[in-house]
Structure 1
Amino acid sequence: MSNEIERLLERQDEAVSALFLENKGDELTDILVAALQEAFEILLEAAPAGTIH
């Protein structure tokens, strides 16, 4: 993994930890939902059209 990606992941971990410590569950939930939506969009783009049910 490149140093740039590693630093990005570290910053994300720090941001998530800060949200937990500040008891901001709603903001964390919003971030997680957005990440899941993006992941599903990527999967839909990568899947052949005939395999989605």
Structure 2
Amino acid sequence: MTDLVWIKSSYSTDEGPDCVEVAAAPAQILVRDSKNPDGPRLTLAPTTWATFLPYASRH
């Protein structure tokens, strides 16, 4: 999946701190640590991601 478009969190700036990036694939949502882009990725079903988003936006 080298053609993924990663979107960095709005809380992450060029000056820091590093944060998370998200990419949408056809059947999954991928999440990675922006300071370790080649590291492990969390893979979520789109429905799981949609359920998580309201909780994440509260913080």
Higher relative CO (Cα under 8 Å, sequence separation at least 6) belongs to 2
Higher helix share: 1
TM-score computed with the length of structure 2 as normaliser: 0.32
Higher strand share: 2
TM-score computed with the length of structure 1 as normaliser: 0.34
Please tell me whether Structure 1 or Structure 2 has the larger radius of gyration of its CA atoms.
Answer: 1
